[in-house]
Amino acid sequence: MFIFRLCYHSISQGKIVRGVVISNPDNPTGRVYTKAEIMDVLEMCAKHQLHVVMDEIYALSVFGDVVFESVLSFPDIPDPKRTHFLWSVSKVGFSLVLVDIIN
């Protein structure tokens, strides 16, 4: 996954990485990450004590046979204090944004 290569490259270059933001489903491609892919990112971030922001604003924009699973449905999140959830009813105009730290 690209995020792994980017994080490890940045860390190896001496850059300070504090967190990762993942848009799932992705915009603009609409790609939906699997639960296994998300868990890999959560475990990597827990290992390096990085925050993870899960942007699920496009959760209701899934098409075809793809199954979207929210991070809120995961029973065992490796580092719940550094895992954050973002959801909104709109990206433009009037927005209601919900941000939560999973505890």
Does the residue 90 lie in any domain?
yes
* pLDDT value for 97: 55
Total structural domains in the chain?
1
Q: What amino acid occupies position 34? A: T
Does the residue 12 lie in any domain?
no
Range of the domain at 35: 2-7+17-101
Does the residue 60 lie in any domain?
yes
Q: How far apart are CA 31 and CA 8, in angstroms?
A: 23
Does the residue 61 lie in any domain?
yes
Does the residue 41 lie in any domain?
yes
Residue 90 scores a pLDDT above 70:
no
Whether pTM exceeds 0.85: no
The CATH number given to whatever domain includes residue 91 is: 3.40.640.10
More confident residue, 42 or 96: 42
Does the residue 83 lie in any domain?
yes
Residue 101 scores a pLDDT above 60:
no
**Alpha-carbon distance values, 25 to 49, 65, 75 (Å):** 24, 14, 20
Task: Reduce the DSSP state of residue 14 to 3 states and report it.
Answer: coil
Task: Write the pLDDT tens digit of every residue in 6-61.
Answer: 877 887 888 888 999 999 998 888 899 999 999 999 998 999 899 999 999 888 88
Does the residue 96 lie in any domain?
yes
- Separation of CA 87 from chain center: 11
* pLDDT value for 91: 59
* pLDDT value for 6: 81
Of 71, 60, 88, 95, nearest to 20 by C-alpha is 71
Q: How far apart are CA 5 and CA 11, in angstroms?
A: 10
